[in-house]
Amino acid sequence: FINLDTEVTLEAVKGTQTNMPIYSGMMQVAQLDNNDKLPYEELGGAFNKTRFHVDQNISHHTADKLWISYLKNYQPGPDRHIYAATMENDVASVILVSNRENEACMDFVSVVPAFQGKGAGRLIAERILYDFRTKPVVTGTQVKNIAALNFYIKCGFTKIKKSSYVLHKWG
């Protein structure tokens, strides 16, 4: 087996968000009824540190295609939610949330590269923390993804709930 990375599941510390953010400046957050007309390639291609991207046996192009496919096939429902931040009708960021019995999990967090560093991801994360304030909210990332870790810490995800090794075997 080859150790690719260590993944962590982070939990938001309660009390992080007390007001429901809807907009910040010209950016707005909404929960979407469907995943139509999202900028799939830009959102799915925004990743570069996932376990698929760090595996030497998977090309970055193939890894991007996996995330694009995941987003295109994600259908919202009673326990599956799509949140989007928009600016002047352009989608800036998307977060997919699974509402589980004991927690809500941010499964897919992506910001269109042109909007990175402008608060789009944080605005959605704050909205999710507000909407799911009655239960723990968690998310996961790889330890070597420093940018993602810093983003989650800024959003209040400061409790390490679990860590695990990512192992792959080829042959």
Bridge partner residues of 87 (DSSP): 27, 90
For 115-131, the pLDDT digits (tens) are 988 889 999 999 999 99
pTM of the model: 0.88
pLDDT digit string, tens, across residues 47-85:
777 777 777 778 889 988 999 999 999 999 999 999 999
126: which 2 tokens? 């704050």
Torsion of CA 80, 148, 85, 119, to 10 degrees: 150
Q: Which residues contact 56 (CB under 8 A, 6 or more apart)?
A: none
Measured CA angle at 110 (ends 53, 83), to 5 deg: 145
With the C-alpha atoms ordered 151, 90, 132, 23, is the resulting torsion angle positive or negative? positive
